[in-house]
Structure 1
Amino acid sequence: MSTTIFAVTDPRRERLAALGRRAAIRLGGGVLVLWAVATLTFFALRLMPGDPVLAILGGPSANPTPEAIEAARVEFGLDQPLAVQYLLYLGRLLQGDLGVSYSQHLPVTRVLAEQGGATLELTIAALVLAWLLVLLLTVVTAGRGRVIGGIASLAETLSAALPHFWLGVVLLAVFAFGLRWFPPAGSDSVASLVLPAFSLAIPLAGFIAQVTRESLELTLEQPFVLTARTRGLSDLAVRFRHALRHALLPGVSLSGWAIGALISGAVVSEVIFSRKGIGRQLYQAVQAQDMPLVIGVSLVVAAGYVLANILVDLLYQWIDPRQQEAAA
Structure 2
Amino acid sequence: MNLIITMGIRKLWRVTCSVAPRALGAFLVLWMIATLTFFALRQMPGDPALAIFGGIGNPTTESLAMITQELGLDKPLIVQYAVYLGKLLHGDLGVSYSQHLPVTKVLADQSGATLQLMVCAILLAWSLVLTWTVLTAGRRSWISTLGSFVETMAAALPQFWLAIILVSVFAFGMHLFPPTGSNGIRTLILPSLALAIPLAGFIGQVTRESLEVVLEEPFVLSARARGLSDLAVRYRHALRHSVLPGISLSAWAIGSLVSGAVVAELIFSREGLGRQLFQAVQKQDMPLTVGITLVVSVGYIAANFLSDVVYRLVDPRISRGAP
TM bucket (normalised to shorter chain) is: over 0.9
Q: Percent identity, please.
A: 61
Q: Distance in 2 between matches of 1:80 and 1:219?
A: 62
Q: How does 1:203-242 map to 2 (within 5 A)?
A: 203-242=198-237
Distance 1:244 1:12 in 2: 31
Q: Which residue of the partner structure matches residue 52 of structure 1?
A: 48
| Cα drift, residue 231 of structure 1 | 2.4
Distance 1:280 1:6, change over 3 A: closer
Instruction: Determine if contact 2:162/2:194 at 8 Å carries over to the other structure.
Output: yes
- Alpha-carbon offset, residue 156 of structure 1: 0.4
**3-state DSSP class of the match of 1:62?**
coil
Give the unaligned 5+ runs of structure 1.
Answer: none
Q: CA deviation at 1:184?
A: 0.7
How many angstroms apart in 1 are the aligned matches of 2:269 and 2:224?
51
How far apart, CA to CA, are the structure 2 residues paired with 1:314 and 1:143?
A: 32
Deviation (angstroms), 1:237: 1.8
Change (3 A) 1:16 1:185: farther
Task: Return the letter of the residue paired with 2:185.
Answer: V
Answering whether residue 172 of structure 2 is matched by residue 177 of structure 1, we say: yes
Distance (Å, rounded) in 2 between the aligned partners of 1:126 and 1:66: 48
* Equivalent residues of 1:143, 1:217 under 8 A apart: yes
Corresponding residue SS for 1:49? coil
Matches within 5 A, 1:55-74: 55-58=51-54, 62-74=57-69
Alpha-carbon distance, 1:287 to partner: 1.1
Of 24, 34, 47, which residue of structure 2 is paired with 1:28? 24
Q: Number of residues paired by the alignment? A: 323
1:106 to partner: Cα distance: 0.5
Asked whether the 8 Å contact 1:245–1:319 carries over to 2, the reply is: no
Distance change in 2, residues 1:11/1:172 (3 Å): farther
Deviation per CA, 1:196-253, whole angstroms, max 9, x where unpaired?
1000000000011011101100111112211222222222222122211221121111
* Aligned equivalents of 2:123, 2:7: Cα separation in 1: 32
Q: How big is the shift at 1:315?
A: 3.6
Please point out which of 131, 140, 144 is paired with 1:136. 131
1:312 partner letter: S
What code does the residue aligned with 1:68 have?
S
2:113 partner amino acid: A
Structure 1 residue 320: Cα displacement: 5.0
Whether the 8 Å contact between 1:255 and 1:312 is mirrored in structure 2 is no
Aligned mate of 2:309, from 311, 314, 318: 314
Structure 2 CA distance for partners of 1:134 and 1:29, relative to 1, 3 Å: same
Secondary structure at 1:43's aligned position in 2? helix
CA displacement at 1:140 relative to structure 2: 0.5
Find out whether 1:81 has 2:79 as its counterpart: no
Q: Give the C-alpha shift of residue 15 in structure 1.
A: 5.6
Note if contact 1:167-1:199 (Cα within 8 Å) is conserved in structure 2: yes
Distance 1:109 1:8 in 2: 45
Q: Which residue identity does 2:237 align to in structure 1?
A: H
Q: Distance in 2 between matches of 1:18 and 1:244?
A: 30
Cα-Cα RMSD:
2.2
Q: Is the 8 A contact 1:138 1:212 kept in 2?
A: yes
Alignment partner, residue 276 of structure 1: 271
* Residue among 253, 257, 270 paired with 1:262: 257
Task: Tell me the distance in 1 between the aligned counterparts of 2:215 and 2:9.
Answer: 33
CA distance in 1 between partners of 2:15 and 2:249 (Å): 19
Q: Is the 8 A contact 1:252 1:316 kept in 2?
A: no
1: CA distance, partners of 2:199 / 2:151: 10
Cα distance, 1:298 vs structure 2: 0.7
Distance 1:157 1:290 in 2: 39
Corresponding residue of 1:37: 33
CA contact (8 A) 2:18 2:319 kept: no
Three-state SS of the structure 2 residue aligned to 1:126 is helix
- Assess if the C-alpha contact under 8 Å between 1:253 and 1:316 holds in 2: no
> What SS class does the counterpart of residue 98 from structure 1 fall into?
coil
Q: Measure, in 2, the Cα distance between the counterparts of 1:68 and 1:191.
A: 46
1:194-209 matches, cutoff 5 A: 194-209=189-204
SS of 1:188 mapped into structure 2: coil
